[in-house]
Amino acid sequence: MICHSYARFSTMIQADGDSLRRQRAAADEFCKRKGWTLSDLRFTDLGRSSFKAGKQKALDAFLKAIRDGRVKPGETLLVEAVDRLSRKGVRQTQNLVNEILDAGVNIQILSPVEKLYSAKDQNDVGGAIELAAFAYQAHAYSAVLSGRIQANLEQRRKRVREGSKGETLTNRIPGWLEKRDGKLIVKPDARRAVEYIFKRTIEGCGRRVLLRELNAKFKPIGTSGAWNATAVSLIVNGKRLRTADGRIVVARYVCGESVSTKTGEVFKCYPAVIDDATWRKAAASAKRRTRKKGPPTSRVNVFAGLLHFAKDGSHGAIFTMFQAPRKDGSKRAVRRFQSYKARNDEPGADKQTIDAERFEEMLFEFLPQLDLSARKPDRRGQLEDEIAVLESQLAEVQQTAKDRPRGAAALAPVVASLAEQLEQLRAELAELPDTATRPTKDYRAKLAAMRRGTNEEREQVRDRLLAIINAIWIHPIKLGTAHSSRVKTIAEIHFKDGEIRRGIEVDGHLIQAAAAKPIREQVLAGIVFDAQWYTAAAKSLSRKKK
């Protein structure tokens, strides 16, 4: 039997303990003892509570894998205990379990007793009662624990409110602070950097110029290795938090403030680096520079999480630029891909950009045999399993009839029925194609409509890409030194089955090309993809295309 393990613990503090190792070791030992196969699909929620809704991302990924057909009927989800799946109470836990069982997937728990909840046992009353008891116990424990945590947090808020020295709302502190002898102090280098950020912001310096200056003058705050827009935004704008009653409040950490998301109360618990007047001047200056954002913020990027720039290894981000005004004064917004590192002006970043819409059209045209239709369970595998079961049943009945000749006549209709079912299944299996067929023109038209359709439709396209592709690497090449010189693209698609497909842009299309090494390796090795190289390769590929 094939098993997929799921492990979870509630807080990242437990990452330093034995929880994850213990859960994985228990899964490995159980499968070896039973002779079951533990698959490579391991789902792990680290620091994720099963008491609150919407926290278990890996569990959601497992449910999605069932719907996509990657986890098939007859396979098993292996967990340490029911409370690893859910602590949300009896009804919600049963709904989750039923969703898994109704898909034909079993659930094996290891503690407090080893128990297999089988998809075939539709009327297992004892198992349902046992499961309800486990779910109630898990929820009751979490409810008590949650109450204790809330009481401790209220005591902590009380101590901060009363001005207890060194006391903060959380154990995490901003990167420009450090704790010495129980007191919070501002790091000298970090103070100078923060003051410089506010000084330049008040002077009207743009974010991209500011990032270049910070990377040249100051050591970055935090562990990212470079200053980036997110870190600067947190310093200048603070952090927007949503309180329990739905209000939005801003935590101005550089002013020494922290905010309780439970009550919305603002606390002074950090040493202030910037005074209130300086903060307001910087906010007013930043507001005057704010530009109206374009449409891409509400447009789903179908390549999110997949696209990488070969030169700097960074993910690709979408931004909007406005072309020169038309005669009527209007401007056309153009969506373009750019390296994240280039957006943050990090040293060595690839500053070339490519047209997002044009690249999307080229890439999907480059994959003519790619079937992105909604994945269905493997019918061939299902048929083979059903045939094997029927053959076993038929052999058993025939052996019984042979051993008991007097009952052979009574068993004859059963043998005939099983034989008829076998014949039908074998005929259906024979009609299935040996390999996946290419999508029809109608399907490709439907896919194109989905890509240009609503965000929900574009999310479907993205989910299907994520199911078959690991990464898409691109390397834009500028043909010439003039600002208006055209940019051509080399693309490389890494599929989950190990295939790598490379294409080079020729006449507005990606044409398949061979390469000795992946383009990322070639760039790191110092191979220069200049205009002359591209032109020669493009001419050769263009001739092959004709």
Calpha distance 492→518 (Å, rounded): 8
What is the signed CA dihedral for 231, 232, 237, 242, rounded to 10 degrees? -10
The residue whose two tokens read 């801003």 is: 250
Q: Look at residue 149 and tell me if it is in a domain.
A: no
Do 384 and 345 lie in one domain? The reply is no
Do 426 and 447 lie in one domain? The reply is no
**384 CA to centre of own chain:** 34
Calpha distance 359→337 (Å, rounded): 9
Do 385 and 369 lie in one domain? The reply is no
Calpha distance 303→416 (Å, rounded): 54
Q: Look at residue 170 and tell me if it is in a domain.
A: no
Do 414 and 477 lie in one domain? The reply is no
Phi, psi dihedral angles at 159 (to 5 degrees): -65, -40
Do 264 and 297 lie in one domain? The reply is no
| Strand, coil or helix: 138 | helix
Q: Are 251 and 239 in contact (CB under 8 A)?
A: yes
Do 503 and 459 lie in one domain? The reply is yes
The whole-number pLDDT of residue 309 equals 92
Using the 3D structure, point to which of 263, 289, 315 is the last residue of a domain. Answer: 289
The whole-number pLDDT of residue 377 equals 42
Low-confidence residues of the chain: pLDDT under 70: 8-20, 46-55, 86-91, 119, 121-154, 156-157, 159-160, 162-171, 222-224, 289-298, 322-332, 368-385, 389, 406-407, 432-444, 516, 528, 530, 533, 540-546
| Strand, coil or helix: 444 | helix
Calpha distance 27→274 (Å, rounded): 52
Phi, psi dihedral angles at 21 (to 5 degrees): -60, -40
The whole-number pLDDT of residue 231 equals 84
Do 404 and 541 lie in one domain? The reply is no
The whole-number pLDDT of residue 435 equals 46
Count CA within 13 A, CB hemisphere, residue 433.
Answer: 4
Do 128 and 221 lie in one domain? The reply is no
The whole-number pLDDT of residue 294 equals 44
**Any alpha helices (H) in 53-124, and if so which ranges?**
57-68, 82-85, 90-102
Q: Look at residue 166 and tell me if it is in a domain.
A: no
Q: Are 355 and 335 in contact (CB under 8 A)?
A: yes
Q: Are 23 and 80 in contact (CB under 8 A)?
A: yes
Q: By C-alpha distance, which of 303, 294, 256, 247 is closest to 275?
A: 256
Calpha distance 85→51 (Å, rounded): 10
| CATH number of 224's domain | 3.90.1750.20
Q: pTM of the full predicted structure? A: 0.45
Q: Look at residue 276 and tell me if it is in a domain.
A: yes
Q: Are 421 and 400 in contact (CB under 8 A)?
A: no
Strand duo 106-109 + 76-79: pairing: parallel
DSSP-derived secondary structure letter, 74: T
Calpha distance 165→186 (Å, rounded): 15
Residue 281's domain comprises: 177-289
The whole-number pLDDT of residue 375 equals 41
Do 415 and 450 lie in one domain? The reply is no
Q: Look at residue 163 and tell me if it is in a domain.
A: no
Using the 3D structure, point to which of 289, 312, 339 is the last residue of a domain. Answer: 289
Helix (H) or strand (E) holding 96: helix 90-102
The whole-number pLDDT of residue 390 equals 72
Query: Could you tell me which residues come within 8 angstroms of residue 315 by beta carbon, excluding any fewer than 6 positions away?
Result: 305, 307, 308, 309, 339, 340
Q: Are 58 and 8 in contact (CB under 8 A)?
A: yes
Do 70 and 129 lie in one domain? The reply is yes
Structure tokens at 479: 């043909």
Kindly tell me the sign of the dihedral angle through the C-alpha atoms of 70, 75, 77, 78.
negative
The whole-number pLDDT of residue 90 equals 65
Using the 3D structure, point to which of 239, 266, 289 is the last residue of a domain. Answer: 289
Q: Look at residue 60 and tell me if it is in a domain.
A: yes
Q: Look at residue 542 and tell me if it is in a domain.
A: yes
Q: Look at residue 165 and tell me if it is in a domain.
A: no
As for how many domains the chain has, the answer is 4
Do 31 and 96 lie in one domain? The reply is yes
Do 21 and 84 lie in one domain? The reply is yes
**Omega before 112 within 30 of 0, i.e. cis:** yes
Calpha distance 397→412 (Å, rounded): 9
Count the neighbouring beta carbons within 10 Å of the beta carbon of residue 421: 15
Calpha distance 389→329 (Å, rounded): 72
